[in-house]
Amino acid sequence: MVEEAPVELWGPPAFEKGDKVVSLRDVRNDGTFPGAKMGEVLIRKDEIGYVHSVGTYLNRYYIYAIDFIETARLVGMRAAELKLLEKAPDAPPS
């Protein structure tokens, strides 16, 4: 029997707008990033970015639009691909 992963949307998002995060792995274009070739590395491991917005995917997962300033790219990522470095300055304490 295959165990189903919990629905992320049942809980609060891991990150909020303005949080400073770091990529835990290289991210390649899966065909959804305009202007980049399929398979091209968009973001390298350890690149730092800021949460631009929080959306959802398939009514199951949070997707975080991360603004990577150095590479000037806005890339959608899952929580498992990111690590929090700093909460947004105006974020309520968790």
pLDDT for 23 equals 97
Query: Do strands 48-57 and 61-68 pair parallel, antiparallel, or not at all (unpaired)?
Result: antiparallel
Q: pTM for the full model?
A: 0.85
Given a cut of 70, is residue 83 above it in pLDDT?
yes
Domains and CATH numbers, the chain: 8-86 (2.30.30.140)
Strands (E), the chain: 20-23, 27-28, 41-43, 48-57, 61-68, 73-77, 82-86
Please write the tens of the pLDDT for every residue from 25-70. Answer: 999 999 888 889 999 999 999 999 999 999 998 889 999 999 999 9
